[in-house]
Amino acid sequence: MEDIQKSERKLSGKHVLFMFLAFFGVIFVVNGIFLSKAITSFPGEITKKSYMQGLKYNSVLKQKELQQQLGWSAEIGVVSNELVTRVSDGSGNPLTDVVITAELNQHSDEHRIETFELSETSTGEFSYSLSDFEKGRWTANIKVLSTSGETLLAQKEIQIQ
């Protein structure tokens, strides 16, 4: 018979400690990578001073109540790569003597915000060309301001093709 030599290694406390430290070391390194990627890719705040806006939310509710009393309505959409907004009063008549500004927030890592004024293309219809904007999903925040100081705020998610 051949002599078979077996290598006998005993599991010592040092080996267990090394395995324990290696296991948790890998966990900490992976968590650190994920954490740094998460923080650098999305800072967590889209609007500036969101805490202060939250404290003043009652004024937002009051503004919405005033809007309902006015009865104004706004339709927002994208037609032929243009942002189109139609505004009308409570009777359905188009509003013409108004200034409409739009703020577009991009849904991406950059969170690009663009603000511009829409121009009237026909009675009660206002538009702005979106040809310079990146394709993708955006949020359109529309502010309609009349010459007498009345305000309408509207919001809609749009898709730029």
Q: Which tens digits make up the pLDDT trace of 44-90?
A: 666 667 788 888 888 888 888 888 888 888 999 999 989 999 999 88
Question: Vertex 124, ends 133 and 114: CA angle to 5°?
Answer: 20
Nearest to 72 by CA among 148, 159, 138: 148
Res 42 pLDDT > 70? no
CATH match of 71-160 with 2.60.40.1220: yes
Grade residue 113 by pLDDT with cuts at 50, 70 and 90: confident
CB-CB contact of 130 with 78 (8 Å): yes
**Mean pLDDT to the nearest integer, 4-20:** 84
Please state the domain extents for the chain. 12-44, 71-160
Q: Which tens digits make up the pLDDT trace of 115-132?
A: 999 999 999 899 999 998
- What average pLDDT does the chain have? 87
